[in-house]
Structure 1
Amino acid sequence: MNMKAFFGKLIYVLPLVFLAANCNSQKQAANTTENKTETVKEEKKSTSGFAMQVPEISQNNPEGQQIALSSLQGHIVLIDFWASWCPPCRAANPELVELYKKYNGKKFKGAKGFEIYSVSLDQDPNKWKAAIAKDGLVWKNHVSDLRGWESAAARSYGVNSIPASLLMDEKGTVVGTNMPLAEMMTYLDGRLK
């Protein structure tokens, strides 16, 4: 390959590399907004007695109400780590909307239903709320401590790049991480009554 062709291709590849790097472990500038009510516990059981195979998360939703992951006891849950400033996260949101609309409200063998629990790594509450509205993220379980990469939930789950997700069954056991949409649908279809 000659140098001209090499640099011609490099011009197309470099922006993609920088875009991907934007959403990985490089930390956003510190924001003074703090949410003191956020907690993450690495216990095997939550206070409700629900045996967790994953760490508990309890953070505030956009309205300031705390939502604990363990409140979804008995459901198949997709835990989604994302942020409004992450282009790949925003690009993946239509698939999450499709997944939610297809499976929420359906009957599953051994489970109460399907839910999405979205954990945002945003620091600006207005940008977070605007992204939820603009992307049509209709599920109710949106949480954030507004600490960006310093999020206790992200640290507890070892999240160092986003988007990142875990699919867990009704017992809290992780059945897949960062699964493509087709794989999640195959799993959920297999669990339908």
Structure 2
Amino acid sequence: MKKIILVLSLIFSFSAANAQIHIGDSLPDFELKNNKDVTVNLASLKGKTILVDFWASWCAPCRMANKKLAPFYNQHKNEKFEIVGISLDTDQAKWKNAIQKDTLEYEQLIDPKGFDAPAALIFGVEQLPSAYLFDASGKLVAINPSEEQILMQIKK
């Protein structure tokens, strides 16, 4: 049992050490195309609580998370809250179909190189889904936050 805990601790610390973005870091400044082929600058969204959600159309846990995120966003979008989905899909048609099927109304961006995508490397994304919560000043306050953590940040 102790060996299992040791191995899991080592794996966790290794993956945490590989993360590129850390609590307290600023919202990265880069541009990606959205599902309407418009370029969006991520840093331009400062001023709101922002949840950056990495996902892909082929990722079953991501699609399940979308079913919770879509109504959550609709309930809180008028409270200076924004979700930005960043897809690591390599097939834009499948990505756009998933957006429509999951009725995702919040901003959807794509960085179509999978886990080698620059956005994934900047954030240190190693698994999907992965989410990053930024406060209104653009500082990272939580990685893979719970719904309660998001709500607490929105209400600040």
**TM-score, structure 1 normalization:** 0.65
**Matching of residue 179 in structure 1 with residue 145 in structure 2:** yes
Counterpart residue number, 1:118: 85
Residue identity in the other structure for 1:114:
F
Contact 2:28 2:43 in 1 (8 A): no
Q: Of residues 116, 135, 160 in structure 1, which corresponds to 2:126?
A: 160
How much has 1:55 moved relative to structure 2?
2.0
How much has 1:71 moved relative to structure 2?
1.9
**Matching of residue 86 in structure 1 with residue 52 in structure 2:** no
**Secondary structure, aligned partner of 1:56:** coil
Query: Which runs of structure 2 are paired with 1:3-152 in the superposition (5 Å)?
Result: 53-106=26-79, 113-139=80-106, 141-152=107-118
Gaps spanning 5+ residues in structure 2: where? Answer: 1-20
Contact 2:86 2:109 in 1 (8 A): yes
Distance in 2 of aligned mates of 1:75 and 1:185: 13
How much has 1:75 moved relative to structure 2?
1.1
Distance in 2 of aligned mates of 1:166 and 1:102: 19
Percent of counterpart pairs with the same letter? 36
Contact 1:56 1:69 in 2 (8 A): yes
Contact 1:99 1:185 in 2 (8 A): no
Distance in 2 of aligned mates of 1:185 and 1:172: 16
Q: Deviation string for 1:128-178 (max 9, x for gaps)?
A: 000000001011x21112111121000111001010001101111111110
Distance in 2 of aligned mates of 1:91 and 1:69: 25
Contact 1:95 1:181 in 2 (8 A): no
How much has 1:98 moved relative to structure 2?
2.1
**TM-score, structure 2 normalization:** 0.80
Bigger-Rg structure (1/2):
1
Gaps spanning 5+ residues in structure 1: where? Answer: 1-41, 43-51, 107-112
Q: Which has the higher contact order (CA 8 A, sep 6+)?
A: 2
After TM superposition, which residue ranges in structure 1, 4 or more long, deviate above 4 angstroms? none
Distance 1:73 1:54, change over 3 A: closer
Q: Deviation string for 1:13-52 (max 9, x for gaps)?
A: xxxxxxxxxxxxxxxxxxxxxxxxxxxxx9xxxxxxxxx7
